[in-house]
């Protein structure tokens, strides 16, 4: 049985301008409490627009959005701002102070929340930036800016976190750091939506469900292994490249006649070690 529904989109259609084509078409999405849901798809497929709909920044042309069991229209702006933390694609867009401390302080104050040095230190610890209290946000590295943007988003103690394309321009090591932060936020915050088209990053996340969006429609959805073990041609048709480690597993499975479908990087590593052991023992018999 599933836990509480945090986000429910039912038959949501959206267009920015009356004369424009629909940018989102009959979208049905559910996010439960304690889930990390990934929204994946190529550029221009409608992922950020979907985030705007969930945050109440854009109203569906048709269909309904429910948040925490209530129609989104029943939530005030102030309630929505506290309920949902959003990390935009470009963190620079949200910085407006000369120190990391002030950035977090002003975020909390703008929401009418009291803050202490301990609160700020704790937030920075969650994203591994505890040494950066007096640094200028604009002078942080790109990866550090992304992590500061996460700290700003979680400062309000949201019940839902939406992270938009967190890995653009980051090397693998920075991606691993972001993935580990998001995995731990999944349990502390409640629900996390990660928007990405970085397939290798996806395999670092503790993903419960994937929605693949293409040209404004959900074309595939399900558990990560059900989506990512589809034939490469199917994923490519929708502008996605299969994660490399999954290609490796498929080749190994085909060679040895196994059927395991691990998804997360660490599960793949464990699986391949197991297969190697199995193979060794077969050889030694």
Q: Which residues bind ligand ADP (CB under 6 A)?
A: 16, 23, 41, 43-49
Size of the site for Mg ion (CB under 5 A): 2
> Which residues in 120-139 contact Mg ion (CB under 5 A)?
none
Of the pair 209, 264, the CB lying nearest ligand ADP is at 209
> Binding to Mg ion by residue 48, rule CB under 5 A?
yes
41 binds, among ligand ADP, Mg ion, none (CB under 5 to 8 A by kind): ligand ADP
On whether the CB atoms of residues 191 and 160 are closer than 8 A, the answer is yes
Of the pair 18, 257, the CB lying nearest ligand ADP is at 18
- Report how far residue 220's alpha carbon sits from residue 96's, in angstroms, rounded to the nearest whole number: 39
Residue 224 CA to its chain's centroid (Å): 13
Separation in Å, CA 276 to CA 222, 245, 264, 266, 280 = 29, 15, 18, 15, 6
On whether the CB atoms of residues 1 and 54 are closer than 8 A, the answer is no
25 binds, among ligand ADP, Mg ion, none (CB under 5 to 8 A by kind): none
- Report how far residue 251's alpha carbon sits from residue 203's, in angstroms, rounded to the nearest whole number: 18
CB of 15 to ligand ADP, least distance (A): 8
Determine if residue 59 is left, alpha or beta; phi over 0 gives left, psi from -120 to 50 gives alpha, anything else beta. Answer: beta
CB of 178 to ligand ADP, least distance (A): 18
Of the pair 49, 145, the CB lying nearest ligand ADP is at 49
Would you tell me which residues interact with Mg ion (CB under 5 A)?
47-48
């Amino acid at each position: 049985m599933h836990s509480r529904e945090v986000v429910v989109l039912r038959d949501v259609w959206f267009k920015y301008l009356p004369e424009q084509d629909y940018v989102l078409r009959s979208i049905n999405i559910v996010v439960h409490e304690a889930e990390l849901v990934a929204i994946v798809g190529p550029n221009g497929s409608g992922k950020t627009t979907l985030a705007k709909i969930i945050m109440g920044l854009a109203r569906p042309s048709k269909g309904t959005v429910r948040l925490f069991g209530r129609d989104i229209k029943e939530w005030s702006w102030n309630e929505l701002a506290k309920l949902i933390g959003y990390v935009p694609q470009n963190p620079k867009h949200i910085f407006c102070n000369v120190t990391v401390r002030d950035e977090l302080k002003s975020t909390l104050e703008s929401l009418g929340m009291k803050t202490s040095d301990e609160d700020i230190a704790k937030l920075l610890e969650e994203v591994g930036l505890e040494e950066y209290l007096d640094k200028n946000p604009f002078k942080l590295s790109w990866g550090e800016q992304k992590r500061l943007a996460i700290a700003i988003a979680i400062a309000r103690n949201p019940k839902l976190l939406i992270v938009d394309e967190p890995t653009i321009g980051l090397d693998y090591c920075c991606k691993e750091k972001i993935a580990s932060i998001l995995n731990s936020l999944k349990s502390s915050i409640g629900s996390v939506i990660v928007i990405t088209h970085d397939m290798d990053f996806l395999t670092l996340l503790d993903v419960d469900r994937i929605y693949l969006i293409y040209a404004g429609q959900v074309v595939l959805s399900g558990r990560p292994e059900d989506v990512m073990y589809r034939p490469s041609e199917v994923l490519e048709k929708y502008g996605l490249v299969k994660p490399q480690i999954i290609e490796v597993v498929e080749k190994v499975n085909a060679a040895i006649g196994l059927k395991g479908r691990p998804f997360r990087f660490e599960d793949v590593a464990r699986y391949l070690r197991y297969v190697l052991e199995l193979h060794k023992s077969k050889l030694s018999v």
